Amino acid sequence: MTFQGDSMHISAWAQKFLFRADQLDLPVGELSGGEQARVLIAGLMLRPADVLILDEPTNDLDIATLDVLENSLDEFPGALVLVTHDRYLLDRISTEILALDGRGNANMYADLAQWERGRQSATQADSPAKKAPAIVSRMEKPAQKRLTWNEQRELESMEESIHRAEAKVASLQVRIADPKVIANYEQMHEAYELLATAQHGVTRLYERWAELAAKQS
């Protein structure tokens, strides 16, 4: 078979998508759901195309298949149009982000970090200007949301925390790509579990960052 102008044996192509040599003769129906998804990805990557349009391609994929999909898209020589909520896929694959704000506006960003800053700025700009308080009774005085001292310190260190968490994810992705790890099922399974945990940690940090920023504004 030929991929991007280079000849490759079918077993080598199958190994690229995490299949063992003894699985090549199995009916597709006997493969797991994740393995069947990898079969589809392997076939998709062999089709000549200038543009791929993918709508939420990471939905319902296991960790191993997610990594295969990301690697395959990263190697695709044409243009990609992705509709996705997966920030890891966006960070790794995309070069431009078209963000829709739900109010009919669309803006282009270079990466997710720029989008986060743009969204925070828009939130602050939309906040109503403070007016002189009216004379109200003690019971009518509205409660004010302010960051506690600990929350302020947490917000100030959030960017550094996210950088560390994303560096851990990148390190685990390198580990998963190690041929020695791929060849050892137990090590590969452990690495994927650690990667899933690390990716979840990054998601929680971004959610917490948005929560604190909204409370501060």
Q: How do 2-3 and 6-7 pair as beta strands?
A: antiparallel
Cβ–Cβ under 8 Å, residues 205 and 158: yes
Closest CA to 210 of 82, 57, 87: 87
In CATH, the architecture of 147-217 is: Orthogonal Bundle (1.10)
pTM of the predicted model as reported, rounded to 2 decimal places: 0.45
Q: Say which residue, 131 or 14, is predicted with more confidence.
A: 14
Kindly report the backbone phi and psi dihedral angles of residue 122, in degrees, each rounded to the nearest multiple of 5, phi listed first.
-65, -40
Domains in the chain: boundaries: 2-93, 147-217
Q: Say which residue, 182 or 143, is predicted with more confidence.
A: 182
Distance of alpha carbon 198 from alpha carbon 142, whole angstroms: 40
Identical fold between 2-93 and 147-217: no
110-134 pLDDT per residue, tens: 777 787 777 777 666 655 554 444 4
Closest CA to 215 of 132, 155, 129: 155
At a CB cut-off of 8 Å and minimum separation 6, what does 189 contact? none
* Residue where the block lists tokens 């009774």: 137
16-54 pLDDT per residue, tens: 787 888 888 888 888 888 788 888 888 888 788 889 888
Kindly report the backbone phi and psi dihedral angles of residue 105, in degrees, each rounded to the nearest multiple of 5, phi listed first.
-100, 150
64-89 pLDDT per residue, tens: 778 888 888 888 888 888 888 787 78
**Side chain identity at residue 16, one-letter code:** K
Distance of alpha carbon 60 from alpha carbon 40, whole angstroms: 14
What pLDDT is attached to residue 118? 74
What pLDDT is attached to residue 174? 85
What pLDDT is attached to residue 145? 57
Distance of alpha carbon 127 from alpha carbon 86, whole angstroms: 28
What pLDDT is attached to residue 120? 76
Q: In the CATH hierarchy, which top-level class contains the domain 2-93?
A: alpha beta
